[in-house]
Amino acid sequence: MLINLAANIKGKIYWASRLLNVIGTVVVMSMMLLITVDVILRNTINRPIQGSFEIVEFMMAVLVFCFFANGQREKGNVNVEMFVRRLSVKARRILNIFNYFLATGFFILVTIQMFRETYSIYSRYDVSPSLHIPEYPFMLAASVGVLFLSLVLLVDLFVAIFDAKPKENM
C-alpha cells in the first residue's frame, strides 16, 4: 500500500517534470522565432518588434527553470565520478544519500525564497520598464520549476535511502 502510494507520487512528479520540459521546449522555440522575426524586421524594413528584448528576458527566466527538474530526473546534470568510482558500494551509497540530502535541503530553501520573492513582486506590482508587463507570473514560473527540482531531488533521496531501483522513463 505504502509502496504503491510512493510509486504513484513519484510518477506524478516525474510526469510534471516532463511537462515542464515540454513547456521549456516551446518557450525556446518561441524565443528563437521572436528573435528571428525581430532581426528580419529590423534589417529589412527598419521596424524591430517593440520590447522584444524584454520579452526574451522573461522567456529566458522561464526557460532555464523549466529544464532543471527533468534534467535531474534523467540524471543529465554534471556528475564527477573520478574519485567516487574508487569508493566501495556502501561508501558511494552513503555519499549519494548525503549529496541528495544537501541538494534537497538547499533547493527547498531556494524554493521557499523564490515563492516569497514572487509574492513580494506581486504585492508591489512590479512591471517591466518599457512594455509594463507584470513580472510576478515569470517569477512564479521559475519558482514552480525549482519546486519540481526539489521534489525530484526528494524522490532521489528516498530512492537512495531505501536502495530502490528507479524505473527508467517513468
Dump pLDDT digits (tens) for 143-162: 999 999 999 999 999 888 88
Please give the Cα distance from 81 to 78 (Å, whole number). 10
> How many residues comprise the chain?
170
Instruction: Quote the pLDDT of residue 1.
Output: 62
Q: How far from the centroid of its chain's Cα atoms is residue 118's Cα?
A: 16
Please give the Cα distance from 155 to 134 (Å, whole number). 34
Instruction: State pLDDT tens for residues 36-47.
Output: 999 999 999 999
pLDDT at 28 over 70: yes
Please give the Cα distance from 79 to 142 (Å, whole number). 24
pLDDT > 90: percent of the chain: 51
The C-alpha cell that represents 45 in the structure block = 524594413
Please give the Cα distance from 65 to 144 (Å, whole number). 8
In DSSP terms, 134 is beta-bridged to: 127
Instruction: State pLDDT tens for residues 84-103.
Output: 788 888 888 898 899 999 99
pTM score, whole prediction: 0.83
Question: Do 161 and 154 form a contact (C-beta atoms < 8 A)?
Answer: no
